[in-house]
Amino acid sequence: MEQIEQWLARAITLAAQNAADGGRPFGAVLVRDGEVLAEGVNRIAATHEPSAHAELLAIRQACTALQTPRLDGAVMYASGQPCPMCLAAMHLAGVSRVYYAYSNEDGASYGLSTAALYAELAKPLAEQSLPAHYRPVRPTGVDLYRGWAEGVRHA
């Protein structure tokens, strides 16, 4: 339990420093086998880029440094409850666990909750507020996925 608290304290320190520097109060530390793979802070205010979340930046940094899209066995320590985008990225990268210090409920009164986004994404795709339309338009002679798969097997 002491290690968990240590890494969460580091994530909170990163978040507090980021907030003091004019950013949002979110920090993340990605650890595997007791070694820090990467750290990140929320950079939305600095970059004006909505996916510049602390967890995503830590994942990107670790994957780039290790030259792999997989982070199997890594653990994410985040100051705040990861949003659905960050959680999805953790799943895709193979992160094994995530610990966070502040919940959506803790952040709600400060406008720092993603609970509404979780609720929206829990709806069937056709009922979500962002219309998503499937249109199986494919140019003649193009089989995008098959071509990719065949290229991967032959590469």
Query: Residues with catalytic annotation?
Result: 55
Alpha-carbon dihedral angle through residues 117, 119, 125, 130, given to the nearest 10 degrees: -40
Q: Are 108 and 115 in contact (CB under 8 A)?
A: yes
CA atoms within 13 A on the CB side of 10: 16
* Rounded distance between C-alpha atoms, residue 108 and residue 152, angstroms: 45
Secondary element (H or E) of residue 110:
none
